Structure 1
């Protein structure tokens, strides 16, 4: 039901693009067209002072702390599902190991 939110919650980067909003006019299913290039924004490995960690920064944290941050930011998501996704990524995703 919230698959995009679960995906974004566990992403290493954020999406950067310029969207062509002309295609959003009219009726029918929502779609988007990217104008130019698609970018992944990585940012700093440390959060700015006063901000919580996000994206790749959370993979440096203790997994319990990272889960807490993800859960607090996305209270509509099930904590047990977030835990399962995080545990799976920690076990099988080679990038997690590189960030840790």
Structure 2
């Protein structure tokens, strides 16, 4: 949010564009659903499997959206955004592939 108020395109902060507001709102909702899934995970192995798959997917999507919202600065060494995208893909596989966890849920 802070960066979207600083970055200016067409003479306006990019955070004032409706499409980007919707994009940032969608990212916020994804983050909140991931938080809810993680909070529910300690309750059972099945919920933990759901949380692992959902949170990994959300991390990947949010990292990709962050790069899009930050533009060119996100892929430079001067900004930490470039580190999150590969980290999201790696951590999605860290405790097992998503299809493994989904098979546990479907049983």
What TM-score comes out, normalization by structure 1 length? 0.26
Which one has a larger percent strand, Structure 1 or Structure 2? 1
The structure whose RCO (Cα within 8 Å, separation 6+) is larger is 1
What TM-score comes out, normalization by structure 2 length? 0.25
